[in-house]
Amino acid sequence: MVDPPSLLEPLIPSLRRYAYALVREHAAADDLVQDTLERALSRWSSRRPDGDLRAWLFAILRNLHVGRHRQARRRGQAVAIDDAEPADPTADPGAMLEAHDVLAAVDQLPEEQKSLLLLVGVEDFSYDEAARILGLPVGTVMSRLSRARRRLRSILEKGPALLRRVK
């Protein structure tokens, strides 16, 4: 049997990316990834050996996040003091504005739509896998994906229009 480190470590960068996109705060995202890995290790023997490890980990992370989000809503959200976006100096300003807008706009979506856009659009999960991670039927995933993208577009179209008026 292959040992956990060599199976899990290649998946950490994409777990961190998903976690960061969900919580938008670097340290809290790494807390979430750490808890995910701890839970995965503690349940290592109970995972289905034929199941997809990557989808399993993303499902753990997402479930932890959803559970916490519920708690945080009850308690009131902590706000990060110092959490600037890393700027990419090679990107041209216009593209950067849009890139920033997209992540910020995704943040305004309900968690399920946000996760769907991230799992399918960024993490390249198949529609089947995304459905399993989110606990939805595949048909539902397709229609929700379409709805999420429509909503994202309407958020983004309102944003730049406002900027242009201010300018």
User: SS3 string of the chain?
Assistant: CCCHHHHHHHHHHHHHHHHHHHHCCHHHHHHHHHHHHHHHHHCHHHCCCCCCHHHHHHHHHHHHHHHHHHHHHHHCCCCCCCCCCCCCCCCCHHHHHHHHHHHHHHHCCCHHHHHHHHHHHHCCCCHHHHHHHHCCCHHHHHHHHHHHHHHHHHHHHHHHHHHHHHC
Selected from 1, 2, 5, 46, the binder of other proteins by CB under 8 A is 5
Nearest residue (CB) to other proteins, 60 versus 118: 118
Selected from 22, 25, 57, 109, the binder of other proteins by CB under 8 A is 25
Size of the site for other proteins (CB under 8 A): 53
Taking CB under 8 A as the rule, does residue 153 contact other proteins?
Answer: yes
Q: Rule CB under 8 A: which of 33-92 touch other proteins?
A: 33-34, 37-38, 41-42, 78-82, 85-86, 88, 91
Interface residues toward other proteins, by CB under 8 A: 4-5, 8-9, 12-14, 16-17, 20-21, 25, 27-28, 30-31, 33-34, 37-38, 41-42, 78-82, 85-86, 88, 91, 95, 98-103, 106, 117-118, 120-122, 142-143, 145-146, 149-150, 152-153, 156
